[in-house]
Amino acid sequence: MNSFLTSMHSGLRWVVLLLLIFSIFNAIVRRNTYEKKDRLLYMFTMVSMHIQLVIGLILYFFISEKVQFVEGWMKVKLYRFYGMEHLVGMILAIALVTIGHISSKKQTEAKSKHKRILIWYTIGLILILAFIPWPFRAGLLGNWF
C-alpha cells in the first residue's frame, strides 16, 4: 500500500503536467470555439489534480516517512519541504486551478471561457513545477517516476 500509493502519486504527476499543458495549449488555439470536448479536457485536468490531493493527503497523514514533526523539523530541509512547502504550494495550485475552472464555466463567451483557463491554469502549472520534488533538487529524495 505504501509504495503503491507513493508510486501512483509520483507517476500521476506526469498526467497532471501533460493535462495542464494540453489545456493551456487548447485555450490558446481554440479561442473562439468552445465545445463539450473543451469542457471535458478542462474538467479532467482539474480532477487529476484533485486525485493527487486525495492521495497526497493520505501520504501526508498516514504513510510518508518524509513527513516528520519531530523537534526542529522546520530546520531539516527534507521534513520542511514535505511537511510544509509541498503541501502549501500544491494546495494553492489546486485551489487556483479550481477557481479558474469555476470562473471559466460561468462565462458565456467562448473567448472568455478559454481566457480564464489560460490565466489560472498557467499560474497553477508554474506553482506545480516549482513545488515538485524533482530528483535534481538536492536533499528532497525525489524520483522521476
Tell the smallest beta-carbon distance from residue 108 to ligand HEM (Å).
Answer: 29
Number of residues that bind ligand HEM (CB under 6 A): 26
Tell the smallest beta-carbon distance from residue 106 to ligand HEM (Å).
Answer: 23
> What's the distance, Cα to Cα, between the start and end of the chain in Å?
17
Establish if 98 lies at the interface with ligand HEM (CB under 6 A). Answer: no
User: How many secondary structure helices (H) and strands (E) does the chain include?
Assistant: 5, 0
Site string for ligand HEM, 109-138 (x = CB under 6 A): -------------------x---xx-----
Tell the smallest beta-carbon distance from residue 53 to ligand HEM (Å).
Answer: 4
Q: Is the dihedral of CA 45, 50, 56, 62 positive or negative?
A: negative
Nearest 10 degrees: Cα torsion 45, 50, 55, 60 = 120
H helical segments located in 31-83 = 36-58, 77-80
Which residue, among 94, 97, 103, has the nearest Cα to 131 in the 3D structure? 94
Minimum CB distance to ligand HEM smaller for 73 or for 110: 73
- Grid coordinates representing 109 are 463567451
Question: 38-67: which residues touch ligand HEM (CB under 6 A)?
Answer: 49, 52-53, 56-57, 59-60, 64-67
Given the rule CB under 6 A, which residues bind ligand HEM?
6, 9-10, 13, 16, 49, 52-53, 56-57, 59-60, 64-67, 82, 86-87, 90-91, 128, 132-133, 142-143
